[in-house]
């Protein structure tokens, strides 16, 4: 995003979005990029302003907030949450957990709570999640290398 917008950005490693949001609210950092769920209530209360969303289209929970594409930047970045277990988890346990998650995600009350956080509830089974993750890794490999980012050891 820094390359596309010509804004010099520095990655600051936080232990979660909540501490970063607190530093944003406190003025210790000028901006943050995170899921809307970390800041949506602060946005709604007027304590901070979500400037743009990074998805292909506007968020149903934030219809007043434009996408970066609408603002003229060629940046689309979506996120997903996955549930992971040990690599050697037995297939029957994997299926049982997968079925329970699918059932929970089909609950209208749960869906409403997820949407209120600016997220879109969707279910993908274990194989579909693996495929989605592989596609995201491939998609972000080139921009990450171009940014010069390295993991801190």
pTM for the whole thing? 0.73
Distance in angstroms (rounded) separating the CA atoms of residues 101 and 97: 6
Estimate the crossing angle of helix 91-105 against helix 108-116, to 10 degrees. Answer: 80
Asked if residues 121 and 114 have their Cβ atoms less than 8 Å apart, the reply is: yes
Mean pLDDT of the residues in the chain: 89
What is the predicted pLDDT for the residue at 12? 87
Statement: residue 153 has pLDDT above 80: no
Set out the domains of the chain in order of their start, with CATH numbers.
1-79 (3.40.190.10), 80-153 (no CATH)
């Amino acid at each position: 995003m820094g390359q596309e917008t010509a804004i010099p950005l520095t990655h600051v490693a936080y232990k979660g979005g909540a501490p970063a949001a607190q530093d944003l609210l406190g003025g210790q950092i000028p901006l943050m990029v995170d899921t809307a769920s970390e800041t949506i209530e602060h946005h709604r209360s007027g304590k901070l302003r979500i400037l743009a969303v990074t998805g292909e289209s506007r968020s149903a929970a934030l219809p007043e907030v434009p996408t970066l594409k609408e603002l003229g930047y060629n940046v689309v970045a979506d996120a997903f949450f996955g549930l992971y277990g040990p690599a050697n988890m037995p297939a029957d346990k994997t299926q049982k957990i997968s079925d329970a998650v699918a059932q929970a995600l089909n609950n209208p009350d749960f869906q409403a709570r997820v949407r209120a956080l600016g997220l879109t509830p969707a279910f993908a089974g274990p194989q579909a999640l693996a495929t989605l993750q592989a596609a995201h890794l491939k998609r972000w490999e080139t921009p990450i290398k171009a940014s010069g980012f390295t993991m801190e050891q």
